[in-house]
Amino acid sequence: MGQNIAQKIFNSHLRDTPTPENMVLDLDVVLCHEITTPIAIMDLMEKGMDRVFDPDKIKAVIDHVTPAKDSKTAAQGKIMRDWAKRNKIKDFFDVGDNGVCHALFPEKGFIRPGYTVIMGDSHTCTHGAFGAFAAGVGTTDLEVGILKGVCTFRAPVSMKVEITGSLQPAVSAKDVILAIIKKLTVNGATDRVIEFVGPLVDSMNMSSRMTLCNMAVEAGATSGICLPDRVTAEYLWPFIKGDYPTIDAAVEDYTKWHSDPDADYIEVITFDVSDLLPQVTYGYKPDHVRNILEMEGTVVDQVYIGSCTNGRIEDLRESAAILKGKKLASGVRGIVTPATPTIYSQALDEGIIKIFMDAGFCVLNPTCGACLGMSSGVLAENEVCASTTNRNFNGRMGKGGMVHLMSPASAAAAAITGSISDPRKFIA
Amino acid sequence: MKNFGGPAVLLDRNDINTDEIIPAKYLAEITKSALKSHLLEDLLLDGKQFDSRSQKMREAKVVITRANFGCGSSREHAVWAFEVNDINVVIASSFARIFRQNMFNCGILAMELSEDDIDSLFSMSGNLTVSVDLANEKVKLVSDDNSQDSVECAFSLNAYDKSLVSAGGWLAYADVNY
Ligand code: SF4
């Protein structure tokens, strides 16, 4: 029996198998942010274990609340800063060059095909877009990762989601993943790795693949994963050109991670997107998804464009194409947060920031901000937000608030009309 | 090894997520004890606000719930919020992966029972007390309602999870083994 990509990565990183179902893996990178790492650091210090297994394999950022909003978040940042310095972690990103972890770390070339990656953050699955096994963990797993460079997982069980057909204008990866989550339900992929394959995935750029993998966890998955190919190699080329003579050579090498034709899957689903309409959530769970026509007219108070799901340059372009020359509907607050400084600066160069500002948006520095309701755009009770983020849980963006998840195009359409609207009406 | 069990509280819902167990605004805390009074603060049951400050909740040592418990954010704060409230067992028909791992990593018990068994627990009357026999993988529920028979269910614990619970968590285990 052949192996799928997750099995290949597991087998090539296997340190130990304490039981047949449990596999202890060597880690290639351990990613850290200031919400879940400081407690790990404090605990390691208390136990006299303030060490790291390899400072070059640890990447850290302050991104959730930055710049600090109060003394508590300032203390979290300081714990990270001091720790990075003490332990000689040179890839540490602080105010000025920090951005949302799952957008920043890929942009720096830290994630490569075949890697094992953990982070104390459930959306670590985003990095599976590069053909890596990347999974969110809790603080104790993170502590052990930092200290020993290992993590335990159950032997991987993969399901294949094959995506076919081509997308209509103004329909994007976000709509695809929302529709897939609706089909799988929030529990449908628990303890599984979702392997995204098929012609649509092959034709997607890295940004769209990250959007797909980002929300795999919302169906319960341990991770999402795409097969590394030419698109992956071209994205990574600035970082890997010392390792390969040509892009072709990298592409060729990456095929070693590809799932074998006779690999084993617990389930195979084919999903055709040709007739897919823009999708939007209506309730407090990410599988509460409807097509946009069923939700049109729902009045919004705020529009939020950003996050690790949809805060990349491609997403900002998608929104700006609709916002260009238009104004926010009266009474609607617009907030945009480019996910990293590089994206911000690119958006400035392309005139995108101006489009947002002319429309009346508030442009925030790169941060998670309102996505998790910790700063910069928290909702008041009974307020409604059209958001490009990934979670609509009750209270997520502020107690009593309602979050409707949607694509950057749909969020832009809501911004100019003041209610949930079909973005296809606004494209040339 | 510590004893598992005690008075139970029942949360009759699927897909309770970690934002409901402990809202993000408390993630800026850097001590576990600060989470104590905020456990399940944002939980909705039947669309209504759950009373997380009730006497019953304060006395509970065990939570019984349904499918996909602990989904969403990876925050281990959710497990710590149980831990600092002396809740040492969560019984559900299934758990989200990260939450379940966090429970065992902290040396506390995430117990999976079949949906039928969970249904039978939810149909019991009176206040329930849970006792766990870890060695024999059996759990017994006794009600204070005399007309209600006690219920016993078998559960199974992976050998690795068991060794984490016995070692007192993953850090202690990894420190010895790797
Ligand atoms: S943008 Fe939102 S979902 Fe993404 S890492 Fe930040 S808080 Fe988490």
Ligand 1: residue of A34, A37, A368 to mutate (most ligand atoms within 8 A of CB) is A368
Task: Provide the phi-psi class of A25: left if phi over 0, else alpha when psi is between -120 and 50, else beta.
Answer: beta
d(C-alpha B124, C-alpha B105), whole Å: 31
Q: Which of residues 113-172 of A touch B (CB under 8 A)?
A: 120-122, 124, 136-141, 143-144, 147-148, 150, 152
- What is the per-residue pLDDT across A299-331, written as a single tens digit (0 to 9) for each? 999 999 999 999 999 999 999 999 999 999 999
How many whole angstroms from its chain centre is CA A93?
18
Instruction: Give the closest residue to A356 by CA, choosing from A337, A377, A339.
Output: A337
Predicted confidence at residue B94, as pLDDT, reads: 96
Q: Is A100 in the pocket of ligand 1 (CB under 6 A)?
A: yes
Angle between the N-to-C axes of helices B97-105 and B159-167, in degrees from 0 to 180, rounded to the nearest 10 = 40
Placement of tokens 């529009």 in the chain: A303
What pLDDT score does A60 carry?
Answer: 98
Cα(A335)–Cα(A301) distance, rounded to whole angstroms? 11
Phi-psi region of A418 (alpha: psi -120 to 50; beta: other; left: phi over 0): left
Mean pLDDT over residues B22-48, rounded? 91
A389 lines ligand 1 (CB under 6 A): yes
Is the pLDDT at B29 greater than 90, yes or no?
Answer: no
Q: For A278-289, what is each residue's pLDDT tens digit?
A: 999 999 999 999
Distance CA A243, CA B78 (A): 42
Q: Is the dihedral of CA B172, A85, A100, A212 positive or negative?
A: negative
pLDDT at A209 over 90: yes
- In sequence order, which residues have a C-beta less than 8 Å from that of residue A422 and are 6 or more positions away? A277, A278, A292, A293, A296, A410, A413
Predicted confidence (pLDDT) at residue A109 exceeds the cutoff of 90: yes
Digit-coded pLDDT (tens) for A221-276? 999 999 999 999 999 999 999 999 999 999 999 999 999 999 999 999 999 999 99
Report which of A197, A163, A182 is spatially closest to residue A265, judged by C-alpha positions: A197
Tell if the CB–CB gap between A139 and B102 is shorter than 8 Å: yes
Residue A42 phi/psi, 5-degree rounding, is: -60, -40
**Do the beta carbons of residue A81 and residue A94 sit within 8 Å?**
yes
Per-residue pLDDT at B30 exceeds 80: no
Instruction: Report the complex ipTM.
Output: 0.88
Can you give the pTM of this predicted structure?
0.94
CB-CB contact of A192 with A159 (8 Å) = yes
Query: Has residue A428 got a pLDDT over 80?
Result: no
Residues 6+ apart with CB under 8 A from A6: A133, A156, A158, A193, A195, A223, A225
CB atoms within 10 A of CB B34: 16
| Cα dihedral: B60, B62, B68, B73 (round 10) | 60
> Which residue in A408, A383, A409 sits closest to A396, CA to CA?
A383
Domains and CATH numbers, chain A: 5-154 (3.30.499.10), 158-272 (3.40.1060.10), 281-426 (3.30.499.10)
Reported as a single tens digit per residue, the pLDDT across A368-420 is 989 999 999 999 999 999 999 999 999 999 999 999 999 999 999 999 999 99
| Residue B47 burial (C-beta neighbours within 10 Å; 0-12, 13-18, 19+) | exposed
Report the Cα B23 to chain-centroid distance in Å.
17
Confidence of residue B175 (pLDDT cuts 50, 70, 90): confident
Q: Count of residues for chain B?
A: 178
Q: In A, which residues are within 8 Å of B169 by CB distance?
A: 140
Phi-psi region of A172 (alpha: psi -120 to 50; beta: other; left: phi over 0): beta
Contact state of A186 with B74 under an 8 Å Cβ cutoff: no
Whether A140 sits inside 8 A of B171 (CB atoms) is yes
State whether the beta carbon of A340 lies less than 6 angstroms from ligand 1. no
What's residue A16's pLDDT? 95
Ligand 1 mean position to B140 CA, how many Å? 41
Average pLDDT of chain A?
Answer: 97
Short-list A170, A367, A378, A192, CA closest to A280:
A170
Nearest to A365 by CA among A127, A151, A96, A121: A96
CB B124 within 8 A of CB B151: yes
Domains defined for chain B, CATH in brackets? 5-177 (3.20.19.10)
Q: What is the mean pLDDT of the segment spanning B47-74?
A: 94
Q: Please tell me the predicted confidence (pLDDT) of residue B169.
A: 84
Interface test with chain A among B52, B71, B170, by most A beta carbons within 10 Å: B71
Decide if A144 and B174 are in contact by the 8 Å CB cutoff.
yes
pLDDT at B1: 61
DSSP for chain B, written as a single string: ----EEEEEE---S--BHHHHS-GGGTT--SSGGGGGGTTTT-EETTEE--TTSHHHHH-SEEE--SSBTBS---THHHHHHHTTT--EEEES-B-HHHHHHHHHTT-EEEE--HHHHHHHHT--S-EEEEEETTTTEEEEEESSTTSPPEEEE----HHHHHHHHHTSHHHHHHHH-
Q: Is A164 exposed, middle or buried (0-12, 13-18, 19+ CB in 10 A)?
A: middle
Residue in A372, A366, A410, A413 with CA at minimum distance from that of residue A391: A372
Which two three-digit tokens encode residue A334?
A: 């617009």
**Which of A38, A47, A284 lies closest to B30 in CB terms?**
A38
Q: How many percent of chain B have pLDDT more than 90?
A: 78
